[in-house]
Structure 1
Amino acid sequence: MDFELTKSQIEIQKAARDFAKGEFDKELALELDQKHEFPTKIWKKAADLGFIGIHYPEKYSGQGLGVMENILVAEELCSRDSTIGSAVVLSSFASECILRFGSEELKSRFLPQVAEGKMLSAGAFTEPDHGSDITFMNTTAVKEGDEWVINGGKTFITNGCLAGFFTVLCQTDPEAKPSYRGISMILVEADRKGVSATDVGHKMGIHMMSTAEVTFKDVRVPLTNLIGKEGKGFYQVLEFFDESRILIAAQALGTAQGAFDRALAYVKQREQFGKKIAEFQVTQHKLADMATKIELARLMTYKAAWNYDQGRIDPKLTSMAKMYAARTAVEVADEAIQLLGGYGYMAEYEVERFYRDAKITEIYEGTKEIQKNTIASAVLGKFK
């Protein structure tokens, strides 16, 4: 058992850290957060340096590396700035569906554009009336000649107003029993006639990311836009979640680390009652608890990434990593605000933004309750 990163992984980690340190300007972050504006220039620079799609094969403009390298980048970027980091690392969201299941034609057309910073991607899975339940879709896709005709709506779609394409879950066989056996995954270009996206409005955190409602009205795409096999969309998206939840765990881990770093720096220089706040035992105990939670989250997240790269799909482990890292992000950011006191509530000191950004990691890619369902199912097994 080896807990050491490889030399290459350490170099990637350092490169991501140096990039974030050089590009993630504090004042710019505050400005973009207030304007709800995507960090386009930083995203393009990240792509130029190979941080986007690092886990794609080289022929698709990636570096041929694994999930482990991808989440190392995510952790570093999010620890430097939770909002900019999240926007950059999720710019390629759901493109893995094409990478893992798509045809060679779809991979060649779309993956290089994502990796090169020319296009954002989005996964259109969640529906207004279903939420976490993806076993049946109101969005339908019907064959007409050599095309799919798609109708329906999706909500809370990350990158929704900015994406160049959507990976859409559609009910292609409404008679299937159970219903999830009739779900397929189809790629829909954002500029297709009948596709519209509307921002969901002001939200608590992740202000630099577009979160949208996406509507499909008689949208026609070629049959060749099918991703994977017809009727296998439900199974494909579950496999995708086993990868994407590791990325969200890394986002949460970085967010927790960033909040901790700021709190640590503050208590080491701030004086109260004639001595540094860090000298008080109550402060030291808080820091000890925070550091321990972060280390536990890191171990689980790294193990989940390593496990995936070994070719093993383990929903229990990925759900544990995502659930625990997300909870850690929320708790550590909350404690960071407490340590800074009134200053922690002020935008200038950043930890309030880290707190706002932390909460989403307990919601998207499956709420913490969904993660508990997955974990419990694996623990209990089948009842006799």
Structure 2
Amino acid sequence: MDFALSQEQQMMQRLVEDICSDYDLEYWREKDDAGEFPHEIWDDLTEAGFAGLTVSEEYGGEGLGMEEVVAVALALGRNGGGVSGPNMLTLGPVFGGISITEHGTEDQKERWLPAIADGAIASLGLTEPDAGLDTAGIKTTAQRDGDGYSIDGTKIWTTGAHVSDYIITLARTSPIDEGSRHDGISLFVVPADADGITTNKIDKLSMRSLGSCEVVFDDVHVPDENLLGTEDDGFYHVLGTLNTERIIWAAIPLAAGELALDLAVDYANEREAFERPIGENQGVQFPLAESKMELETAKLMIYKAASLYDEGADCSMEANAAKFMAARAGFKACDRAIQTHGGMGFADEYHVERLYRDVRLARVAPVSDELVKSFVSTNVLDLPRSY
């Protein structure tokens, strides 16, 4: 086994570091305070080719895989972006690039992938107020309407919808029958500015620079050519995208944890109490050392999941396990960074409070700790289904 990054991956991380040098922690704090999308760094990342990471070269992209997405996400998060920075990659390479590449027709790829590679933002309209993580329980419908479909319903926690060009949307096209609840759902590419769409930002605890939204669809017409994949098979189509979402949402809290750890180590070396640096105390050292080991261990599972995905192998268990372990490791690292800073950890100027707020999300979304454990129990250990 080769655990080293390739020369290309290392070069990509260095390029990300160079871009991030123009966007320091103060930039991210200001974006968080204002609730503003970080368009400036997104434009620079797009110019460098990162918006098209997963888009094949024939459509203007880089033609790379999830290993490269992870490498870029980790560099983007650790070099100031925390949680919000790397999460921008879901709004292009993952939701847009992967969904359309895997399930789009040749015409659809030619229509949308060059735009994705050129920085178009694609959000995922999946979660609903009543369904939550029960995707088969969605109530949004897409009914046949002339040469297309009419979509009605409400999505919630749709990250980036207010700045999106497209919303990759799941809607029920056939009623639930006696077979599977997962049948009868279809996947659509919906222009975010389509008539009948209303988008409302949600006031929230974390990740404020990447707004999360309620999106209301009121008789939104989309033509037949906007159906992605096969009608009624959308739930199964989106599973591959969800695995890649879990992989990047493992990299996101891990990167934030690494950034928090860096800040804690710097503070421990600089802050003096009782006439010596607090970093000389094992009570400060040991928790930070534990976080370093936990983060590195979780990183191995992230790259394993990404490698399996890139090979075309089933990575469901590894993707879920990576997300679970990295979310916990990242949260503990941010919590320990707060503890290391003491009272100053609660001050905006030291940034760890923002990382702490943001990284907590990873234990709830895009899949909760509890549902990951249920998935592994049922699908890996063959225990009775509990949900």
TM norm structure 2: 0.95
- Output aligned runs, 1:8-47, within 5 Å: 8-20=8-20, 22-47=21-46
Say whether the 8 Å CA contact 2:74–2:86 is kept in structure 1: no
Shift in Å, 1:217: 0.9
Q: Which amino acid aligns with 1:59?
A: E
Q: Which residue of 1 aligns with 2:3?
A: 3
2:114 — aligned with what? 112
Letter in 2 for 1:315: S
Q: In the superposition, relative to structure 1, how do residues 290 and 175 fare at CA in structure 2: closer, same or farther (>3 Å)?
A: closer
1:61 and 2:63 aligned: no
What is residue 73 of structure 2 aligned with on the other side? 74
Provide the C-alpha distance between the structure 2 equivalents of 1:84 and 1:61, rounded to a whole number of angstroms.
Answer: 25
* Root mean square deviation of aligned Cα: 1.6
Letter in 1 for 2:282: Q
Letter in 2 for 1:6: S
Letter in 1 for 2:105: S
26-35 or 249-258, which deviates more: 26-35
Shift of 1:59: 2.0
Deviation string, structure 1 residues 145-190 (Cα, Å, up to 9, x no partner): 2111111111110111111111111110114332211111111111
1:191 maps to amino acid: D
Provide the residue aligned with 1:341 in structure 2. 342
Instruction: Quote the Cα distance in structure 2 between the aligned partners of 1:115 and 1:358.
Output: 28
Q: Which residue of 2 aligns with 1:308?
A: 309
In 2, are the aligned partners of 1:252 and 1:326 still within 8 Å (CA)?
yes
Q: CA deviation at 1:84?
A: 4.7
Checking the alignment, whether the CA contact within 8 Å between 1:195 and 1:216 is kept in structure 2 is: yes
**Amino acid paired to 1:150:** I
Q: Does 1:286 align with 2:287?
A: yes
**Does the CA-based 8 Å contact 1:196-1:214 persist in structure 2?**
yes
1:133 paired to 2:134 = yes
Aligned to 1:97: 99
- 1:53 Cα deviation after fit: 2.4
Is contact 1:160-1:214 (8 Å) kept? yes
Instruction: State the shift of 1:298 in Å.
Output: 0.8
Distance between the aligned counterparts of 2:194 and 2:87, measured in 1?
25
Greater alpha carbon shift after TM alignment, 221-230 vs 374-383: 374-383
- More divergent stretch after superposition (91-100 vs 41-50): 91-100
Amino acid of the structure 1 residue aligned with 2:310? D
Query: Quick one: distance in 2 between partners of 1:262 and 1:175?
Result: 51
> Secondary structure of 1:208's partner?
coil
Give the alignment's TM-score, normalised by structure 1. Answer: 0.96
Cα distance, 1:83 vs structure 2: 4.8
| Partner AA of 1:161 in structure 2 | H
Aligned residues with identical type, % of pairs: 35
1:113 partner letter: A
User: Which one of the candidate residues 178, 181, 189 is aligned to 1:179?
Assistant: 181
Q: Show CA shifts across 1:255-307 (max 9, x none).
A: 01000000011101111111111111111211211111111111111111111
In the alignment, the residues of structure 2 paired with residue 382 and residue 334 of structure 1 have an alpha-carbon distance, to the nearest angstrom, of 33
* Helix, strand or coil at the partner of 2:325: helix
User: 2:319 maps to what in 1?
Assistant: 318
Residues of 1 paired with 2:197 and 2:207: CA distance? 24
- Rounded Cα–Cα distance in structure 2 between residues aligned with 1:363 and 1:103: 34
**1:89 to partner: Cα distance:** 2.3
1:237 aligns to 2:217 (yes or no): no
User: 1:83 touches 1:207 (CA, 8 Å); kept in 2?
Assistant: no
Gapped regions of structure 1 (runs ≥ 5): none
- Measured after TM superposition, the shift of residue 41 of structure 1 is 1.3
Give the 3 Å change call, closer, same or farther, for CA 293–162 of structure 1 in structure 2: same
Counterpart of 1:37 in structure 2: which amino acid?
E
Q: CA deviation at 1:333?
A: 0.1
Provide structure 2 residue ranges, at least 5 long, that are not aligned to the other structure: none
CA distance in structure 2 between the partners assigned to 1:283 and 1:228 by the alignment: 53
Bigger mean CA deviation after superposition, 121-130 or 361-370: 361-370
CA contact (8 A) 2:90 2:245 kept: no
Q: Distance in 2 between matches of 1:255 and 1:280?
A: 24
Contact 1:78 1:251 in 2 (8 A): yes
Secondary structure of the corresponding residue to residue 313 of structure 2: coil
Aligned residue number for residue 166 of structure 2: 165
Q: 1:131 to 1:254 in 2, by over 3 A?
A: same
Deviations 1:232-275 (A, max 9, x none): 11111122111111011111111010000000111011111111
**Partner residue, 1:48:** 47
Say whether 1:350 aligns with 2:351.
yes
Secondary structure in 2 aligned to 1:109?
helix
Measure, in 2, the Cα distance between the counterparts of 1:268 and 1:10: 28
3-state SS of 2:231 partner: coil
Query: Counterparts of 1:298 and 1:327 in 2: how far apart (Å)?
Result: 12
Q: Match of 1:69, as an amino acid? A: E
Query: Residue 373 in 1 paired to residue 383 in 2?
Result: no
* Farther off after superposition, 174-183 or 313-322: 174-183
Closer, same or farther: CA 299–219 of 1 in aligned 2, 3 Å: same
More moved, 323-332 vs 175-184: 175-184
Distance (Å, rounded) in 1 between the aligned partners of 2:268 and 2:257 = 17
The structural deviation recorded for 1:106 is 2.2
Greater shift, 68-77 or 374-383, is seen at 374-383
Q: Tell me which stretches of 4 or more aligned residues in structure 1 moved more than 4 Å.
A: none
Contact 1:86 1:206 in 2 (8 A): no
**Alpha carbons 1:33, 1:83 under 8 Å: kept:** no
CA drift of 1:116 comes to 1.5
